[in-house]
Amino acid sequence: MRLQKLIKEFQFSEDERLKITLGIDVRLNPERHYLQLAEDSSNQYPTTDDLQAETWITNPLSVKQWLGFDVEALHTKIDGVQVTSLGYKLTDGTTEQYWDGGAWSTAGASDWNTEEEIAGNIDSFPVDERKLGVIINLKTTDGRATPKVKGIKILFSSDVNFQDDILYRSLVPTIRSGVLPRGRVAFEVSASASSFDLDDLRIDTPYNIVDVDSVFNHTDDPNHQADLLDSYNSSTKVVTLTSPISSGKVAWIVFLYEPEVAVTTSQDYTEVEKVPSVILDDVNLVEASYRGQDEVIVNRADGTAVKLPAPLVGDLEMMVRLVTDKGYDLQQLAADFKRYFENNPFLRAVGTDEEYRVWIMDEFDMTTAANRGDIHSARARMRVVDVRYYLRDAIDTYAIKKFHLTGDMNVTVQT
């Protein structure tokens, strides 16, 4: 298995405020972007022992092992003595754990580790759930000073394939579960009924129906004002009504369905003709270049470090094709596709637990008349913006522990 080292960072910026849990007397500085203790009305910081904050839980599904732990923090010395300190626990979102000197154990209220203890032993922290969060204890022994925590970096090994992660593991399942357009079926009721079995209706289009939205007596209520739906059993596919529809009346059932979703990046895909469907093709990385700075994570337990070279960054552009056998379905599918990504503009890449902005570049170019195969279609361009591909291997190196100058130094100041 090919593995590579990646870095996940918890940043304590104002943009991440909603994802951070702040305990009593701990605040996020909105201008300086760090965690700190909260000042009281006398401009004093609390000296209580158990003040803490908690990061969100990161869940990169490609993680094989947690490898490193690095905290960017500022401490204060008064009269040559450091008066601020930090403690840490790790959590999988369910259980808080600390290193007890020999193993990871369930943490009590007073069980905290130093950064060095976490860094030296995180490689044995369980990866079964592939989840990790950090609980931080901020402490000062002098009310004039507070620790300041700017960020935490986690090093992990990963088997991620970036293209597959974004397309097949993330975007396709997101469209499949999130884009649920309405379909409809109308039929004459042969005998008064207060329930219908969808399997008995012989719907000509092979919809994957996931729910029923509403039911109407179209004959008596042509404007569809009175919804008669009571419940829908997705296992038996039985629709139950609040009141029966009489024989000879036209029933109108509106349902939600999951379209077929496919990526045609190779010629071995043979199910393009399934309808209704969303097809992603002509996938290309555009406007790509190596951007940003190299990332470095330091293990203060042993002085080692890992440098991750800057990634290749670009927009993953593709053509979205919608294919249906009914003009109404095409309109509904296009509208629901736009609706979903207007309300959910960020895509989570599940392998790395990174979020990327999604843009629908065009309005769907609708073909209202069916082609010779009675197929309706629409097209639009879509981009996943600024995706990151870490193609260059991480480099093992060492941290600079001390910078020592000897000899004379000449400093020239120009004004």
What pLDDT does residue 400 have? 77
More confident residue, 49 or 402: 49
What pLDDT does residue 406 have? 73
Q: Which two tokens stand for residue 385?
A: 């913006």
Q: Does the structure show a pLDDT above 80 at 326?
A: yes
| pLDDT tens-digit readout, 124-150 | 999 999 999 999 999 999 999 999 999
Nearest to 54 by CA among 129, 155, 139, 152: 152
Query: 408 - beta bridge partners?
Result: none
Give the dihedral of Cα atoms 340, 345, 348, 353; nearest 10 deg: -150
What pLDDT does residue 269 have? 45
Q: Which two tokens stand for residue 66?
A: 């947690």
Q: What are the structural domains, with CATH classification, of the chain?
A: 4-158 (2.60.120.260), 162-178+273-397 (3.30.2000), 182-257 (no CATH)
Measure the CA–CA gap between 126 and 131, rounded to whole angstroms.
9
Q: Backbone phi, then psi, for 332, in 5-degree steps?
A: -70, -40
Mean pLDDT, all residues of the chain: 93
What pLDDT does residue 202 have? 86
Measure the CA–CA gap between 79 and 76, rounded to whole angstroms.
10
Measure the CA–CA gap between 269 and 265, rounded to whole angstroms.
8
How many CA atoms lie less than 13 Å away from 164 in the CB half-sphere? 7
Mean local confidence (pLDDT), 92-112:
97
Measure the CA–CA gap between 405 and 1, rounded to whole angstroms.
46
Mean local confidence (pLDDT), 42-68:
97
| pLDDT tens-digit readout, 299-313 | 998 999 999 999 999
Nearest to 172 by CA among 271, 308, 264, 39: 264
Q: Which two tokens stand for residue 389?
A: 């591909």
Mean local confidence (pLDDT), 255-276:
73
Q: Does the structure show a pLDDT above 60 at 272?
A: no
Q: Does the structure show a pLDDT above 50 at 273?
A: yes
Share of the chain above pLDDT 70, in %: 93
What pLDDT does residue 313 have? 98
Nearest to 157 by CA among 19, 309, 360, 351: 351
What pLDDT does residue 24 have? 97
CB atoms within 10 A of CB 408: 5
Vertex 289: Cα angle to 287 and 292 (nearest 5):
125
Q: Does the structure show a pLDDT above 60 at 267?
A: no
Share of the chain above pLDDT 90, in %: 87
Contact 51, 37 (CB under 8 A): yes
Q: How far is CA 373 from CA 320, 369, 396, in A?
A: 20, 11, 59
What pLDDT does residue 370 have? 63
Positive or negative: CA dihedral 57, 61, 67, 70 = negative
What pLDDT does residue 399 have? 81
Q: For 344, which DSSP code?
A: -
What pLDDT does residue 374 have? 76
Confidence class for position 371, pLDDT limits 50, 70, 90:
low
Q: Which two tokens stand for residue 166?
A: 């974004």
Please tell me the least confidently modeled range out of 1-10, 33-42, 77-86, 258-267: 258-267
Mean local confidence (pLDDT), 165-177:
96
Measure the CA–CA gap between 203 and 256, rounded to whole angstroms.
14
Q: Does the structure show a pLDDT above 70 at 387?
A: yes
Q: How many residues does the chain have?
A: 415
Mean local confidence (pLDDT), 318-335:
94
CB atoms within 10 A of CB 345: 14
Q: Which two tokens stand for residue 93?
A: 């979102």
Could you tell me where the DSSP H helices lie in 75-221?
A: 115-121, 162-166, 172-178
Q: Does the structure show a pLDDT above 80 at 198?
A: yes
What pLDDT does residue 270 have? 43
Positive or negative: CA dihedral 133, 20, 149, 298 = positive
